């Protein structure tokens, strides 16, 4: 039975990461970034942040990976 519990934890963790990724992407698109840019920035940020990163930390790291706005 212990194996089943580990599987549930892994699934929950993947679900939490997917939710965090979707929320960060929504925040970036809400700020005016195109969906493709937001998705790429969030994916790049997810690769560098800690597994326990907050939504705010993920958004901050994602924004750092967005291209500079054109003047």
Q: Tell me if 14 is assigned to some domain.
A: yes
Provide the pLDDT for residue 10: 61
Q: What is the mean pLDDT of the chain?
A: 86
Q: Tell me if 41 is assigned to some domain.
A: yes
Provide the pLDDT for residue 69: 76
d(CA 16, CA 45): 16
Rounded to two decimals, the pTM is 0.80
Q: Tell me if 71 is assigned to some domain.
A: no
- The CATH number linked to 20 is 1.10.8
13 pLDDT tier (thresholds 50, 70, 90): confident
12 pLDDT tier (thresholds 50, 70, 90): low
**Residues 10, 24: contact at Cβ < 8 Å?**
no
Q: Tell me if 53 is assigned to some domain.
A: yes
Domain span including residue 29 = 2-64
Query: Could you tell me which of 58, 57, 56 has the C-alpha nearest to residue 44?
Result: 58
**Residues 13, 34: contact at Cβ < 8 Å?**
no
């Amino acid at each position: 039975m212990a194996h089943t519990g580990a599987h549930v934890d892994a699934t929950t963790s993947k679900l939490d990461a997917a939710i965090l990724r979707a929320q960060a992407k929504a925040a970036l698109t809400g700020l005016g970034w195109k969906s493709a840019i937001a998705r790429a920035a969030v994916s790049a940020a997810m690769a560098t942040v800690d597994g326990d990163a907050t939504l705010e930390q993920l958004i901050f790291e994602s924004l750092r990976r967005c291209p500079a706005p054109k003047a």
